[in-house]
Amino acid sequence: MSSTSPKVRVGIIGAGGIANVHARYYKEIQNVEMVGVAEVIKERGEEFAKRWGIPQSNVFTNYEEMIDKLQPDAVSVTTPHKYHAAASIYALKRGVNVLVEKPMASSVAEALEMYRTSMSAGKILMVGFQTRFEPQFVAAKRIVESGTLGDFYYGESLADGKRRRSVPPSPTFYTKEMAGGGVVLDLGCYAVDTAMNILGFPEVERVSGHIFTALARSKDSIVEGSWGAWDTERFEVEDFFVAKLVLSGGGVIVIKDSWAMHNNDLGRSFFLGTRGGIKLNPLEVYRDEWGHMTTATVTIPNRDPWRDKVGRFVEAVSKGGKSPIDPREIVYDQLILDSIYSSANRSGEEVRLNLPEEVKGILKRKGS
């Protein structure tokens, strides 16, 4: 961005831990000015403003007042999950571009309203999946697009898989009032989006899922090596899940992840096709060449996906471009997450997906 470009004026909604990450990258961009922060806990908002050079007069305890008074060009919505939709919709209706943290919302109904509002307002709605800019995932998507896999038939996807005891200690993650859900929303959204994005958003026909609150309600689970103590009596969501997505072409994707378990590794994400396969972390390609089975480890450039995430958002706002991440894709992800919960509430019974009409366009790119 040219140094002569007009400043992109950004407001921050929610001043918790992830807001500081957004602020760090905004601070690096010459043409960005953080003009205000809205935080329900006033002292935390004031501390955030002091840390990032925001005037104390521009600290608010509600985002409506901040948006109406300061009229920023864009906002980062970094509130607990349950409040993503309301804050994003309010901003969009007032002509403000939005970068909202993942998951998009707590339900597909909220996600759809966010998308429809962005369309009617003509403003950017970008859901903050920095994994979209993770170099190995970008390379994996390119490999699949090249036809290296052939016809996909099976894969497993997880965001982390190594969290033996990593329950977030804040109730913003584990009470239904503030989070809306547990590990399905927190990590499952990454696992779903990674699989769907790498595979080019295939059509999912049916979803089945199981959720468990296996360890997190027990005080005995708070041990050395945890992320910190959480309130086991207030814990209301799931700490482990597994789901199966059945594609219209017959392929199957298994999604799984955990906040707490008696294990140290659920494995690596991988995707199998009739001509080849790929595995992540590190990115490896498996196929037959010259009459032999071959394995190639892909050399990945060292790029900061967070810098690309925030930078691409600012660039789109500055140039009046489209969202760097198509929000329809994340509505699709949210529908899958909703279906995992719906199935789990029916003891794992399969749920058929009905993709909203305005989202079906993302499937046409594959000729579906």
pLDDT in tens, 281-338: 999 999 999 999 999 999 999 999 999 999 999 999 999 999 999 999 999 999 999 9
CA-wise closest residue to 200 among 273, 262, 261, 267: 273
The reported pLDDT for the residue numbered 367 is 41
For residue 260, give the DSSP letter.
B
The reported pLDDT for the residue numbered 304 is 98
Residues of the chain with pLDDT under 50: 1-3, 366-368
- pTM score, whole prediction: 0.95
The reported pLDDT for the residue numbered 225 is 87
The residues, ordered by sequence, that sit 6+ positions from 83 with a Cβ below 8 Å of its Cβ are: 14, 77, 178
Domains of the chain and any CATH numbers:
8-131+305-324 (3.40.50.720), 135-303+333-364 (3.30.360.10)
Beta strands across the sheet bearing 284-289: 292-297, 284-289, 276-279, 270-273, 152-157, 252-258, 240-247, 204-212, 351-352
User: Could you report how far apart the first and last alpha carbons of the chain are, in Å?
Assistant: 38
The reported pLDDT for the residue numbered 363 is 84
The reported pLDDT for the residue numbered 368 is 39
pLDDT in tens, 80-106: 999 999 999 999 999 999 999 999 999
